[in-house]
Chains A and B, each alone.
Chain A
Amino acid sequence: MGGGLRDLLTPRGDRVIFWCWLALCLMSLAVLWSVTEPIIGPYENVDPGVPKSIFWRQMMWAIVGYVGLVVASRVPLRHIDNLAAIPWLVSLFLLLLVPVIGPVISGARRWIVLGPVSLQPAELGKVSCIILNASLLARGIDSQRKSLATGASLVLTVIPAMLVLKQPDLGTSLVFGAAWVAMIFWFGMPGIFLLVAATAAVSSILMFYSEAVLHQPWPWGAYLLVLLGLLYWVRWSIPAKVTMLVVNLFSGIGIPIMWGQLKGYQQDRVMAFFKPAEHAFSSGYQTIQSKVAIGSGGLFGTHYLKGTQKGLAFIPERQTDFIFSVVGEELGFVGAVFVIGLFFVIVIRGVDHAAKVRKPFSRFLAVGIVAYLTFHVVVNVSITTGLMPVTGIPLPLMSYGGSNLLVTSAMLGLLLNVSSKSFDD
């Protein structure tokens, strides 16, 4: 480690990850500049376009993010490990505060307004949950009570996740789950768990498809018959077979119940995913417009600043959740793959660092961060390209939003921090 001012101003650790972060921030600013150009032609209070101020705000947040990145990359990880509970408690407090003092924006309470700055406590919740889980699992890894650690981490994850779900923000609450699954996987999960989880997912999806889309019971019924046949054939213990069957039954039967719990617009979005044509002008509108934008971009795009889907205001939420549609339209396949590639380099190097470092806390932290980033990117891109139903998930570093930019930068700073150890070791 060097010394002096230079150290204070630059992050340490994996340079490649840092350059990818910087490249993504610059891409974000470039695309936001295009998005905030005035829309073409007269409009009637439907979409007045995105104000230019958003670009300048994002630039400010990128600088703040840089500071967060540098700080997070230089803070000794053991301090973070020891104080892991504090950010979690703070975020829990803030999440509890949101329903009380948060303003309702587009039918949801997600923000806390502090003067000129609006914060999304859910963003802090994600990172603090990952840190606390990493700390917890690192302590449980060598003990005999791994199940206790698993259970405790599940509780610590579900509490903030439920609060976020109630905001409502389904997408972000799923991020908590994704990061937890990845960390538990790294913690050590018997293969049969994975198998049970996977079959449960299949059971749920088939049940949903039978019930809500096809209105016929046979796909799920057929699946259960196949499962029964396989269970009869494999040589497992009786409790394992029973567990498998029960989990599958419950995850199947639970779906209609959970479906009833979803809000109307959430149901519509899921249905729009399965039957896009019927919802082309309602809940499927966003997906269709986004696909049109990306598909019409072609190999090299319609040229920077020249996208018509963007310029004529057809892409909704084009400065936030659907910013990738603008990338696809104006920069084409090449630009879109470039952005995805930058994320890919970050996460794949992150996984490698997670495998290399010795300290369990660093490992779990890296895996959690990678899972968080991967989930965000894959789900966001899948939504904008119509592979998944619409749910509110920003594209990290790219989408406009200070909280997300700062938190993602800080998490990448932590990843850099971890990577510096993997080089040291």
Chain B
Amino acid sequence: MGDSDITVRHALLRTIIIVAFAILVVNLFQMTVIRHRFWQGQALENRQDRFRVRAPRGRIYDRDGALLAANLYIADITVPRKCLTPAGPDSTLNRLIEWFGLDRWETIDKLQQQAARKDQLVLVSDASPARIFTVEERGRDLPGVKVVTHSRRQYLFGPLFAHSLGYLGEIGPADLDSTKSIYTQGDYIGKMGVEEAMEPALRGTAGIKLEEVNASGRVVGQHPVWVRDVVAGTDVHVTMSLKLQQRLAAAIGDRPACAVAVDTRTGEVLAAYSNPGFDPNIMGGSLTTKQWNELITNPDKPLFNRITQATYPPASLFKTITSLAGLSGGHIAMDSVLDGCGGGWTFGGRYFRCWKKGGHGALNHTGAMMNSCDTFYYQLGVRLQVDELAAAARSMGLGARVTTEFDDEVKGNVPDSAWYDRHMGKGKWSRGVLMNTSIGQGELLVTPIQMAVVAGRIASGGRMPDPTFVKDPAPVRRQPKALPFRAEHLSWLREAMRRTVSDGTGRAARLKTVSVAGKTGTAQNPHGDDHAWFMCFAPAEAPEVALAIIVENAGHGGTEAGPIAHAFLASYFHEDEADSVAVPVEIPEGAD
């Protein structure tokens, strides 16, 4: 081996080493200097996780500022799913069960129900501070056990506003698909009433936060960066009054019934109570399968909002519209006297009974209204055209939705000739249908809120806007359509209704200091006892408030629904309740 050989090899080895180290340095330079920004971004992405922070939902207040729905912040203690091993709970879970003194099998059963859907299972919801401290203190011995805080909707008056405010429920898969940008799985949305109608305002905007996490994915709690701030939901003030609602609910008691009151000047719903109801506080999360089954199998349908979803024949309440249609069509005058009532009337070879078996004798138009004489209205009905009566009904708000807020509101039915053609066949029906519709029976169907609108429109001469449940943020309101009736006819009707309360079938609603105008009704119910109707407004001379009440299977409007109106109006007009309750009334047996 010569020296020149050595020199060549030495040079070669040196070159290899220099090249190898040069490659390392060049590569390092490329990574740390040229592509520094890219790798820095990667490092940031590595240690930052996106977290969505739910916005606090807007609270709901009544028209006077009383809190109706708030958010309660509660803490749940959760365990990771892996605590439930196939062989049974692991030591962590056993320890917790022992410390908390939980029922072992019930707890495991509860956790197993959640295991299919979630990674973190709720062991204790709404945990007490003592239990939270236990978990916080001994966290090292409890791997994966977390205290998770979240908010829960709290309805301060439980069932009182159940249907009108609604409740919150977990968003379903269908809703989630169409609103991916707004909601994520596990979000709660309004399911009924104002909660549903005002969802966009109440929900606010969820924030997005970047949190530093370590390699095991745990938040280390340093340097959070807000990508999008949380915007709290807007508080909503409803038009309802807590005090009036309580009064209404007390007057209704536990009967299946509903009542709705509107301000005739603004259309604002002052009270809306449907019974039976449910407790909206438990609807969101803690509702058990058993409770749910009870709710949906109860024959009185507690989930059903009778105010906007239930339809009934308007019965004698409809005589107000029949009268207006007759007056404006020139078929009858305000002081007309028709054939006397002998307990019924024959038309088309059929005998139609008046509710009063012995008959009313001769009555003028006002008297017929006051005594709700069917015989009079049979005679008036046959003078009308089917479509003439239907148009009058529609102009009052029947056959269409009257609120803009409640998606679940139903329209009811106002049959016209086209409707009869469709359902009975062209030429297969006769004007005899008017015998039924003129007294509000037959195919006519209305909702209680529609009847409140009818009362309100009569009271305000058609100036009352459509009813609304929300005061603030101010909803977009439809302008009321003028009524196609002459003012003198409307004031005649108001007077006739006033006398119905003062001297007729509606005497149960009388007040001491304020004159009330109203109309009673008894809706025939093929499935059971008749439904008792009452609609009214007051003061009769300068109306402020209109009210519609129906008590299911109760019998007669005057005796069953009238006292509810009385209780509500007494409260509304601040009459001393002790003085005003016992107004002696004598209503003939079977009056409606």
Question: Scoring B residues 1 to 14 as 1 if CB is less than 8 Å from chain A, else 0, what string do you get?
Answer: 10001110110111
Closest residue of chain A to B218 (Cβ to Cβ) is A42
Interface residues of B in 1-56 (CB under 8 A from A): 1, 5-7, 9-10, 12-14, 17-18, 20-21, 23-25, 27-29, 31-33, 35-36, 38-40, 42-43, 46-47
0 or 1 for each of A28-54: is its CB under 8 Å from B? (1 = yes)? 000000000001111111110000000
Contact yes or no, B17 A293, CB < 8 A:
no
Do A312 and B220 touch across chains, with their CB atoms under 8 A apart? yes
Closest Cβ–Cβ distance, residue B19 to chain A (whole Å):
10
B47 touches A367 (CB 8 A): no
Asked if residues A298 and B43 are in contact (CB atoms below 8 Å), the reply is no
Q: Does A337 contact B (CB under 8 A)?
A: yes
Q: B39, A294: Cβ atoms under 8 Å?
A: yes
Please give the distance in Å from B513's CB to the nearest CB on chain A. Answer: 70
- Given the known inter-chain contacts A43-B214, A185-B9, A312-B212, please indicate yes or no for A378 contacting B32, CB distance below 8 A: no
Using known A-B contacts A40-B220, A309-B43, A312-B215, determine if residue A332 contacts B31 with beta carbons closer than 8 Å.
no
Taking residues whose C-beta sits less than 8 angstroms from the other chain, chain B's interface range is 35 or more
Chain A interfacial residues counted at CB < 8 A? 51
In the bound complex, residues from chain A placing their C-beta under 8 Å from that of B213 are 41, 312
The answer on a CB contact under 8 Å between A297 and B215 is no
Considering the chains assembled together, what is the distance between the CA atoms of A292 and B218 in angstroms? 19
Please indicate the chain A residues that have their CB under 8 angstroms from the CB of B293 in the complex. Answer: none
Q: A188-B5, A308-B47 are in contact. Are A297 and B32 (CB under 8 A)?
A: yes
Contact indicator A296/B33 (Cβ below 8 Å): no
Q: Least Cβ distance of A295 to chain B in Å?
A: 2
A332 touches B32 (CB 8 A): yes
Say yes or no for A269: interface residue by CB 8 A criterion. Answer: no
Task: Give A166-186 as 1s and 0s: 1 = Cβ < 8 Å from B's Cβ atoms.
Answer: 000000000000000010011
- Cβ-defined contact, A337 with B215, below 8 A: no
Q: A296-B39, A378-B21 are in contact. Are A41 and B32 (CB under 8 A)?
A: no
> What is the CA–CA distance of A195 and B27 in the complex, to the nearest angstrom?
27
A299 within 8 A of B: yes
The residue in chain A whose Cβ has the minimal distance to the Cβ of B214 is A312
Verify A294–B32 contact, CB threshold 8 A.
yes
Please name all residues of chain B whose beta carbon is closer than 8 Å to the beta carbon of A347 when the two chains form the complex.
Answer: 17
B216 CB-CB contact with A under 8 Å? yes
Contact check, B14 vs A351: say whether CB atoms are below 8 A apart.
Answer: yes
> What residues on A are CB-neighbors of B46 within 8 Å?
289, 292, 308-309, 312, 314
In angstroms, how far is the closest chain B Cβ from the Cβ of A303? 14
A178 vs B503: C-alpha distance when bound (angstroms): 118
CB-CB under 8 A from A374, the residues of chain B are 17, 20
Tell me whether chain B's interface is mostly helix, strand or loop, or mixed: helix
- Nearest to B20 among chain A residues (CB) is A378
Contact of B216 among A43, A344, A381 (CB under 8 A): A43
Does A72 count as interface, using CB distance less than 8 angstroms?
no
Contact B47 A314 (CB under 8 A): yes
List the A side residues contacting B215 at CB < 8 Å: 43, 46-47, 312-314
CB neighbours of A43 from chain B (8 A): 214-216, 218
Q: Is the interface of A mostly helix, strand, loop or mixed?
A: helix
A304 within 8 A of B: no
> Is B1 within 8 A of A295, CB to CB?
no
Asked if B221 lies at the interface with its beta carbon under 8 angstroms from chain A, I say yes
Quick check: A44 and B216 within 8 Å, CB to CB? yes
Beta-carbon contact of A296 and B42 below 8 Å: yes
In the assembled complex, A416 has its CB within 8 A of some CB on chain B: no
Select which of B20, B32, B42, B218 is within 8 A of A328 by beta carbon: B32
Q: Which of A293, A313, A328, A352 contacts B214 (CB 8 A)?
A: A313
Instruction: Tell me if B208 counts as interface (CB < 8 A to partner A).
Output: no
Binary interface profile of A, 309-351, with partner B (CB < 8 Å = 1, else 0)?
1001110000000000000100011001100100110011001
Asked whether A295 lies within 8 Å of B9 as measured between CB atoms, the reply is no
In the complex, chain A residues whose CB is within 8 Å of the CB of B144? 44
Task: Establish whether residues B6 and A291, one from each chain, have CB atoms under 8 Å apart when the complex forms.
Answer: no
Given known contacts A182-B13, A385-B31, A295 and B38 CB-to-CB distance under 8 angstroms: yes
A337 contacts B5, C-beta separation under 8 Å: no
Whether the Cβ atoms of B216 and A47 lie closer than 8 Å is: yes
A141 B216 Cβ-Cβ under 8 A? no
A367 to B10, CA, bound (A): 10
A418 at the interface (CB under 8 A from B): no
Please tell me which one of the listed residues B28, B36, B222 contacts residue A336 in the complex, with CB atoms under 8 A apart: B28
Question: Which of B9, B33, B219 has a CB less than 8 Å from the CB of A41?
Answer: B219
Cβ-based interface call for B65 (8 A)? no
A47 CB contacts on chain B under 8 angstroms: 214-216
**Residues of the B chain whose Cβ atoms lie less than 8 Å from the Cβ of A298:** 32-33, 36, 40
- The answer to whether B143 has its CB under 8 Å from any CB of chain A is yes
Residue on A nearest B220 in the bound complex, by CB: A41
Chain A residue with Cβ nearest B7: A355
Inter-chain contacts of B219 with A (CB < 8 A): 41-42
**Alpha-carbon separation in the docked complex, A295 to B44 (Å):** 12
Residues B222 and A40 in contact, CB atoms below 8 Å apart = yes
Per a CB cutoff under 8 Å, which of B6, B10, B31, B43 touches A308?
A: B43
Complexed CA–CA distance, A391 and B334 (Å): 105
- How distant is the Cα of A351 from the Cα of B12 in the complex, in angstroms? 10
Question: Which of B10, B20, B31, B38 is A294 in contact with, Cβ under 8 Å?
Answer: B31
Contacts A40-B220, A295-B38 given; indicate if A45 touches B143 (C-beta within 8 A).
Answer: yes
Q: A147 an interface residue at 8 Å Cβ cutoff?
A: no
Asked if A387 is at the interface of the complex by the 8 Å CB criterion, the answer is yes
Tell me whether B220 and A295 are in contact (CB under 8 A).
no
> A42 and B220 in contact (CB under 8 A), knowing A294-B32, A295-B38?
yes
| Chain B, 130-146, CB within 8 A of any chain A CB | 143-144
Q: Which B residues touch A295, using CB under 8 A?
A: 31-32, 35-36, 38-40, 42-43
Picked from B25, B28, B43, the residue with its CB within 8 Å of the CB of A293 is: B43
Beta-carbon contacts under 8 Å, B221-251 to A? 221-222
A138 to B216, CA, bound (A): 55
Complex Cα gap A312–B212 (Å): 9
**Does B28 contact A351, Cβ atoms closer than 8 Å?**
no
Contact B39 A291 (CB under 8 A): yes
- A382 contacts chain B at the CB level, 8 A cutoff: yes
Q: Could you tell me if B39 and A367 are in contact, using CB atoms closer than 8 angstroms?
A: no
A98 at the interface (CB under 8 A from B): no
- Chain A neighbourhood of B36, CB < 8 A: 295-296, 298-299
**A354 contacts B by Cβ under 8 Å:** yes
Given known A294-B31, A298-B33, contact A44–B9 (CB-CB < 8 A): no
Give, as a whole number of angstroms, the nearest-CB distance from A49 to chain B.
Answer: 10
In the complex, are the beta carbons of B35 and A385 less than 8 A apart? no
CA of A40 to CA of B222, assembled, Å: 9
B143 touches A333 (CB 8 A): no
User: Measured between C-beta atoms, what is the minimum distance from B63 to chain A in Å?
Assistant: 49
Most buried by A among B39, B40, B143, B213: B39
- Closest Cβ of chain B: how far from A269's Cβ, in Å? 19
Complex CA–CA separation, A41 to B218 (angstroms): 7
Minimum CB–CB distance from B236 to chain A (whole Å) comes to: 39
CB nearest neighbor in A for B35: A295
- Judging by beta carbons under 8 Å apart, are B10 and A355 in contact? yes
Measured CA separation A313–B25 after assembly (Å): 26
Residues in A neighbouring B10, C-beta threshold 8 A: 351-352, 354-355
> Is A351 a contact of B32 with CB atoms below 8 Å?
no
Nearest CB on A from B218, distance (A): 5
List B contacts of A299 (CB < 8 A): 32-33, 36
Q: Which residues of A contact B25 (CB under 8 A)?
A: 337, 340
Given A355-B7, A374-B20, list of 12 further CB < 8 A pairs?
Answer: A40-B220, A43-B215, A44-B143, A46-B215, A289-B46, A291-B31, A340-B28, A344-B21, A351-B17, A378-B20, A385-B27, A385-B31
The 3 A-B pairs with the shortest beta carbon distances in the complex, nearest first, are A295-B39, A41-B220, A296-B43
User: Can you list 17 A-B pairs, Cβ within 8 angstroms, ordered by A?
Assistant: A40-B222, A41-B221, A294-B28, A295-B32, A295-B36, A298-B32, A308-B212, A312-B215, A313-B216, A314-B46, A328-B32, A340-B28, A367-B13, A370-B17, A374-B20, A378-B21, A381-B24
Interface residues of B (CB under 8 A from A): 1, 5-7, 9-10, 12-14, 17-18, 20-21, 23-25, 27-29, 31-33, 35-36, 38-40, 42-43, 46-47, 143-144, 212-216, 218-222
